[in-house]
């Protein structure tokens, strides 16, 4: 259990400090950077599969046409998410990216209601309405929708929906997703280099190392997260996930000095309050359900 908690904390912390990593590559266009992330992530994941003697199993699982269709959708969604995130970080919108990942859990719940016919308890609608009010308030303040936050939240929540019906585990799944994206990504890198706009091998050894390292910084937290979900309850995984956007918010404010006034605080505060109420409601409902189950078991014994 303790090891699982540390795996989860490590994964979310690494994801939380990723803005610092991408900022070191601010001189590389976002599309090139994401293309490198796809290519080197696929290479890193493939090495893990080969090193653990799982290649034959992986090959047999990914030949199913239905599996390929599901992961094509997942690949498109994660590609949109990665591109938006990296572009936003290097365009000085780190704080808004954190809002997207604060909104994401509530949006995932709403998607579950719409597409999976899941039912919400009456009190659960209150935090959803409060989060929507927070987004509306920020829209009025900005004079436009916080599209970065909403794109990140919608793409990742939709990605989660697709992954819910996906048949492969996280290692095989991400390998297939990056494998689907690797052809257009590699083609774009070759094109960029052919017109003299490529960054790889033209911006110094340090930058080249960081671009290649994009595969490692993608793979390590993923494997830690997969290990965590096997060892600790998903409810605890859900609580710990707020480490990532919290670190992003703090990095945006205190390291890169992005603007965050009391006006922004009101909108973000609505979303934070919504998350807090949602967590409290889930805890109370879980306690009540456990007590009911225990009471029923006791009555059966008597």
- State which residues form the domain around 52: 2-301
Contact 97, 19 (CB under 8 A): yes
| pLDDT of residue 219 exceeding 60 | yes
Alpha-carbon distance 289 to 284, whole Å? Answer: 9
Q: Are 171 and 223 in contact (CB under 8 A)?
A: yes
When the pLDDT of each residue in the chain is averaged and rounded to a whole number, the result is: 87
| pLDDT score at 191 | 96
Tell me what percent of the residues of the chain surpass a pLDDT of 90.
48
Percent of the chain with pLDDT over 70: 93
How far is it, in rounded angstroms, from Cα 295 to Cα 253?
49
> CA Rg, the chain, in Å?
21
Alpha-carbon gap, residue 228 to 166, rounded angstroms: 20
pLDDT confidence of residue 294: 55
Q: 10 Å Cβ neighbour count for 149? A: 26
| Domain tally, the chain | 1
User: In the chain, count of helices (H) and strands (E)?
Assistant: 13, 0
Q: How far is CA 84 from CA 152, 236, 258, 279, in A?
A: 7, 28, 18, 28
Distance CA(103)–CA(97), nearest Å, equals 10
Average pLDDT of 197-208? Answer: 92
For 275, the 3-state DSSP assignment is helix
User: Do residues 55 and 49 lie in contact, with contact meaning Cβ atoms separated by under 8 Å?
Assistant: yes
Residue-wise pLDDT tens digits, 254-300: 999 998 888 889 988 998 998 888 888 877 876 776 666 555 554 55
Place 302 in a pLDDT band, splitting at 50, 70 and 90.
low
Report if pTM > 0.85: yes
Contacts of 163 (CB under 8 A, 6+ apart): 74, 173
Here the tokens at position 257 are 């000095």
pLDDT band at 134 (very low <50, low <70, confident <90, very high): confident
Give the tens place of pLDDT for each residue, 51-83. Answer: 999 999 999 999 899 999 999 999 999 999 999
108 or 154: which leads in pLDDT: 154
């Amino acid at each position: 259990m303790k090891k699982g908690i540390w795996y989860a904390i490590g994964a979310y912390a690494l994801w939380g400090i990723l803005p610092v990593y991408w900022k070191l590559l601010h001189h590389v266009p976002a599309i090139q950077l994401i293309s490198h992330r796809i290519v080197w992530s696929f290479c890193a994941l493939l090495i893990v599969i080969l090193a653990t003697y799982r290649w034959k199993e992986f090959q047999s699982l990914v030949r199913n046409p239905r599996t390929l269709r599901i992961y094509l959708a997942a690949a498109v969604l994660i590609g949109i998410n990665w591109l938006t995130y990296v572009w936003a970080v290097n365009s000085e919108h780190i704080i808004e990216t954190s809002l997207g990942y604060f909104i994401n859990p509530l949006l995932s719940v709403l998607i579950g209601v719409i597409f999976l016919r899941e039912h919400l308890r009456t009190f659960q609608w209150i935090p959803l309405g409060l989060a929507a009010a927070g987004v509306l308030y920020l829209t009025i303040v900005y004079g436009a929708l916080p599209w970065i936050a909403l794109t990140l939240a919608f793409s990742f929540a939709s990605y989660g929906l697709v992954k819910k019906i996906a048949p492969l585990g996280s290692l095989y799944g991400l390998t297939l997703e990056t494998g689907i994206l690797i052809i257009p990504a590699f083609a774009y890198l070759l094109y960029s280099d052919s017109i003299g706009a490529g960054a790889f091998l033209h911006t110094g050894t340090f930058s080249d190392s960081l671009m290649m390292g994009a595969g490692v910084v993608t793979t390590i937290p993923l494997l830690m997260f997969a290990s965590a979900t096997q060892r600790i309850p998903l409810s605890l995984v859900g609580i710990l996930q707020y480490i990532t956007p919290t670190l992003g918010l703090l990095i945006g404010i205190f390291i890169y000095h992005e603007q965050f006034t009391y006006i922004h605080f009101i909108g973000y505060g609505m979303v934070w309050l919504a998350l807090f109420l949602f967590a409290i409601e889930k805890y109370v409902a879980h306690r009540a359900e456990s007590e009911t189950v225990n009471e029923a078991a006791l009555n059966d014994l008597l």
